[in-house]
Amino acid sequence: MAHFTLTSIIFLPLLGSFIILLIPRKFEDTLRGLSLLLSTITFGLSLSLWFGFDKSNTLFQFIERYSWISELGIYYYLGVDGFSVLLVLLTTFLTPICILISWDTITHKIKEYYFSFLFLEAAMVGVFVALDVFLFYVFWEAILIPMYFLIGIWGGKNRLYASIKFFLYTLVGSLLMLIGILYLYFQHSGTPLTFDLVTIIQNVSNTPIPYKNQIWLFLAFAIAFAIKVPLFPFHTWLPDAHTEAPTAGSIILAGVLLKMGTYGFLRFAMPLFPFAVDFFTPLLILLSIIGIIYGALVAMVQTDVKRLVAYSSVSHLGFVVLGMFMLNHQGVTGSVLQMINHGLSTGALFLLVGVIYDRRHTREINAFGGIAATMPVYTTIFLIVTLSSIGLPMLNGFVGEFLILLGTAKNNWVWTAWAATGIILSAVYLLWMVQRVFFGPIVHEENQNLTDMNWKELAAVIPILIVIIWIGIYPSPFLEMIETTTDTFLKSRSILTISSVQFP
Amino acid sequence: MNSTIDILDQVNANLPTIILLSFALLMLLIDLFLPKRNHLFRSLLAIGSLCIVYLVVKLLLQEKTVYTYFFSLDSFSYFFHILFITVLVFTFLLSGPYFERTKIKFPETSLLLFFSTAGAMIMISANDLIVMFLGLELMSICLYVLAGMLRKRVQSNEGALKYFLLGAFSSGFLLYGITLFYGITGSTNYSEVNQWISQTSNKLSLTFWIGAGLILIGFFFKFASVPFHFWSPDAYEGAPTPITAFFSATPKAAAFGTFIKILIVAFPLVVSDFELILKIIAIATMGIGNFVALQQKSVKRMLAYSSISHAGYLMVALVVKSNLGYSSILLYLIVYSVTNLGAFTIAYLVNRKNEGSYSYEDYNGLATKYPVLAMFMALFMISLAGIPPTGGFFVKYYIFYSALKADQLLLAILMALFSAISVYYYLKVIVHMYMKPLPDSYETIKSDTHVTMGLIFSSLIIIIIGVAPSFWLTLTNRSVSNILINP
């Protein structure tokens, strides 16, 4: 049966972005309203994934497969499984929120702004649903341009430096991945040559890729993904990009773009190169633990709230990578859930930091203090989100981090201890920041007359809050979506590992 | 071999060129009766006649193939003929405001453009080194004059003189190589050279290699590949900008096309001996082109150096020495020509104060004042940088593809790294357009509907090749694999 659910989720925003281009720029509110409407409809469409997703199905669902460039074996091949379906939903969920929060803050080049945003949404969804390696690469690269514009045009003072750094960093990684993709295609995609991921995975599980090739190919893919995650020591672009990006850009960057890296590991690097994964697992675990602790320690000494949240991302993404390389049920499931959690919590944190920045035009922790008295609603919401980011039980962060730590504990207690340190440190830096910003006496005159959140800001943040609490209290619907795919993923790996015994 | 010259066949094989030339002469005649300053009508006339040539090629000849001793008209020549005509149409479409502004004489310029296009067409359809050389000279001599069209500007004169002197040298090399070839093989016909090589394989004399080397050097000059690139930045900078755009399209395409044809028809047996030298030069060209482009302060010069680096990428595909590699060159040439034509057009539109500065600062705030123009430029830059979903990405990818298929891993990796570097200077233009504030004094940009149309067409081509390359792949593959080889 032919259905176009995924195609419509990609092409509605894409089409929308071109409609935006056709509307004269003097109709500012029409531009804003239309892009909000389009992204909301897109979210509505993607809900059919939530309801139509078969939780017991081990294969890809909502498949669409057409020949695209037949000469080169390239397909327009889309589909979702438990790993990607929630990420698609996260993308379509966060985009309308980002558009809403930009309503008043983005005042120049509005047309370009909403064009970039809708284009970005289309490409992000594309990354998560593409099952053809070439198609995936096209979407992966297409993200760079709108994101570059978002940082570079609507960003802060140092935006040019940050945007170029972001662009070049990711581009170098992905070009190496392109070569890896092509090498994989020529050497190991079977006959006839194809970019179809499902076929390639089948082929490499029948005739495994030689050990040495796996090492190199894994490196080519993993560096691109590690830069995106970002894994220590490839993280240096992230604080700059986050700090300089506009609020909505940071939300989308933290919420979705970083997940492209972790998703890439799960979807491509790990199933394709199982032996290399075994080889590199200790290194990757080490790097992720360093990332967890280093990110937390650096976050602690930040004076800029946004930069602090950015470093906390490095720390949290360390957990995600740690969980997936535990290669057991709890670790991988927790890791996928934690991707969603981080997207929600950190997205909300960036949103809230944006709210205060719009009022005071500074993010220095010293410039605040005692604003709980003037902005009670804001303070409450900020506290809830912070606690979710720390991993307080009954909020979403706890579920993911707990599962990851459980998975880690199954393999190694020492790693678990180090990783748990990260959680403690996160409580330290986040709560310390909350204390300095919200409580105590008001020292600065400007903070006396701050207005609390307006309805647009509330409308943007409350949906996130609802999901945060939902996942915290009743995570089963989410976990069930992930678990079947986790099992399939681990089973196919164990078959491969057994066959590796016979492999010379 | 069969060297009886059938005049009719000979004419048939050159029909597109002959029609083009007759239109050029006709236009010169009509010009006498036209009022002095009427660019619009003249360029419309030129475009109209080119469209007729195009229709003749497409409909009347209907891909009919003719093979004679001196010329062949096959799908390969058709491909390039149509490419050249398209480039010329674009040149006329896009250059209106420039001629208006600089008061360059339009009739002479258009005649020279027609003639050099005819030369390029002869080059491509030639089956004989001497005939090829005649086409090359017809093309080059027109180009030397075109480069110096801005007679009152020192840079233009300098560029033209440099171009002429170095070009003459390279022609000398080429001709000397051809002479040596004639001396040892007894022929200058591609197929006969090939036959001679196949008979004397393994015992090829030093003279042969010197001859081949000289021919290669002649072509390297035309590619503007390192270390034979010194003429190109100055010639590019000095020439009137629409002509620079033409420089980066037709002569480059003609040189690469002819070289491919010679490799396929005359040197299929020795082509692997050229691999090392092609490889070294490809790496040097990519490297120098990109690194020097990084440091340019003028957008026009940046585009000139970037065109050197693009020649390097094309040479990577030459190293692959398979039909796949050659067809990737053909596809690259389409996208690259169209993109460059657009980019140079916007460069001259934006640079309206003093001819010749072309600084990045001129672009400050362009997106605020002229968002559509800025968007076109952004698209061209993104395409040149090779980022999806533009055609620039697909063609670059296709070269990677062919390089890796031929196990040229090192070249592919270097090309990837160099093109990552190139992104920096292309993005710099975008940075100035979108991220720098608008200066206080801002002169208006004078454009016209032709230019807008041309820009829309070129953007469409770029996007279509990026999104749906299937048709174009088939086209280029067929063009390369159907080169007529002495049937």
> What pLDDT, in 10s, does the model give residues B256-290?
999 999 998 888 888 888 888 999 999 999 999 99
Instruction: Dump pLDDT digits (tens) for A378-393.
Output: 889 999 999 999 888 8
ipTM of the complex model: 0.84
Chain A residues near residue B431 by CB distance under 8 angstroms:
152, 160, 163-164
Give the residue among B218, B128, B204, B129 at the shortest CA–CA distance from B169. Answer: B218
Q: Let me know the angle formed at the C-alpha of B110 by B108 and B113, rounded to the nearest 5 degrees.
A: 110
pLDDT of residue B460: 93
Query: What tokens were used for A86?
Result: 């929630």
Residue B344: is it exposed, middle or buried by C-beta count within 10 angstroms (0-12/13-18/19+)? buried
Question: pLDDT for A247-302, tens place per residue?
Answer: 888 999 988 999 999 999 998 888 888 888 888 888 999 999 999 999 999 999 99
- Chain B contact for A112 (CB, 8 A cutoff): yes
Residue A142: both structure tokens together: 């297409």
User: Which tops the pLDDT comparison, B8 or B462?
Assistant: B462
* pLDDT for B420 beyond 90: no
CA distance A50 to B197: 68
- List the end-to-end C-alpha distance of chain A, in Å, as a whole number: 44
* Nearest partner of A419 among A285, A309, A258, A299, judged by Cα: A285
Cβ of B372 under 8 Å from any chain A Cβ?
A: no
The model's pLDDT over A459-484, given as tens digits with 9 standing for 90+, comes to 889 999 999 999 988 988 888 888 88
Q: For A182, which of B367, B401, B469 is closest by C-beta distance?
A: B401
* A499 pLDDT more than 60: no
Who contacts A198 (Cβ-Cβ below 8 Å, separation ≥6)? A60, A77, A131
> Of the candidates A25, A137, A164, which has its C-beta nearest B424's C-beta?
A164
B434 touching A, CB under 8 A?
yes
Contact A250, A97 (CB under 8 A): no
Contact between chains at B434 and A152 (C-beta distance less than 8 A): yes
Rounded Cα distance between A437 and A372, Å, is 8
- List of chain A residues whose C-beta atoms are within 8 Å of the C-beta of residue B435: 152-153, 159-160, 163
- Read off the pLDDT of residues A304-358 as tens digits, 9 standing for 90 and up: 888 999 999 899 999 999 998 888 888 999 999 999 999 999 999 999 998 888 8
Of B387, B416, B417, Cβ closest to residue A144? B387
Query: Would the CB atoms of B401 and A72 count as touching at under 8 Å?
Result: yes
Q: What's chain A's average pLDDT?
A: 87
Strands A74-80 and A61-69, how do they pair? antiparallel
CA–chain centroid gap for B367, Å, is 30
Q: Answer whether A168 sits within 8 Å of B423, measured CB to CB.
A: yes
Residues of chain B contacting residue A152, judged by C-beta atoms under 8 Å apart: 430-431, 434-435
The answer to whether B452 faces chain A, any CB pair under 8 Å, is no
Cross-chain residue pair B412–A142, CB shorter than 8 Å: no
Please report which helix (H) or strand (E) contains residue A64, including its range: strand A61-69
Backbone angles phi, psi at B326, to 5 degrees: -65, -40
Degrees, nearest 5: CA angle B113-B118-B121: 130
Chain B: give the shortest CA distance to residue A349, in Å.
27
Closest-CA distance, B319 to chain A, in angstroms, reads 17
Query: In this predicted structure, what is the pLDDT of residue B1?
Result: 43
Q: What is the mean pLDDT of residues B105-110?
A: 83
Give Cα B309 to chain centroid, integer Å. Answer: 13
Confidence class for position A1, pLDDT limits 50, 70, 90: very low
* B323: chain A residues, CB-CB within 8 Å: none
A144 Cβ neighbours under 8 A, 6+ residues apart: A167, A170, A171, B387
- Using CB atoms, pick whichever of A72, A153, A175 lies closest to residue B420: A175
Per-residue pLDDT at A501: 42
Q: Helix B371-385 vs helix B323-350: angle between axes, to the nearest 10 degrees?
A: 150
d(CA A364, CA A282): 38
Q: How confident is the model at residue B118 (pLDDT cuts 50, 70, 90)?
A: very high
pLDDT tens, B178-233? 999 898 888 888 888 888 888 887 777 888 889 989 999 999 998 988 888 888 88
Alpha-carbon gap, residue A238 to A314, rounded angstroms: 8
**Residue B74's pLDDT is what?**
85
Q: Read off the pLDDT of residues A283-294 as tens digits, 9 standing for 90 and up.
A: 999 999 999 999
| Whether the predicted pLDDT of B339 surpasses 90 | yes
Q: What length does chain A have?
A: 504
Q: Is the pLDDT of residue B481 over 50?
A: yes
If pLDDT is split at 50, 70 and 90, which confidence band does A188 have?
confident
CA dist., res. B362 & res. B344, Å (int): 14
Q: How far is CA B12 from CA B8, B52, B67, B73, in A?
A: 6, 17, 9, 8
Confidence of residue A502 (pLDDT cuts 50, 70, 90): very low
Question: Inter-chain contact A145–B387, Cβ cutoff 8 Å?
Answer: yes
What are the pLDDT digits (tens) for B27-44?
A: 888 888 877 666 777 777
- Of B388, B424, B474, which has the smallest distance from its Cβ to A71's Cβ? B474
Q: Look at B393 and A138 and tell me if their CB atoms are within 8 Å.
A: yes
How high does pLDDT run on average in chain B? 86
Q: How many CB pairs under 8 A join A and B?
A: 85
C-alpha distance from residue B227 to each of B137, B288, B289, B318, B322 (Å)? 22, 9, 11, 17, 25
Reported as a single tens digit per residue, the pLDDT across A39-81 is 999 999 888 888 888 888 888 888 888 888 888 888 888 988 8
Structure confidence at residue A504 (pLDDT):
36
Mean pLDDT value of segment B79-94: 89
Helices (H), A189-246: 197-206, 211-228, 237-244
B278 in Cβ contact with B318 (< 8 Å): yes
User: What pLDDT was estimated at residue B354?
Assistant: 60
Give the model's pLDDT for residue A164: 86
Structure tokens at A160: 């040019």
- Closest A-chain CA to B368: A109
Q: Which residues contact A12 (CB under 8 A, 6 or more apart)?
A: A38, A41, A42, A45, A122
| Maximal CA-CA distance, chain A | 73
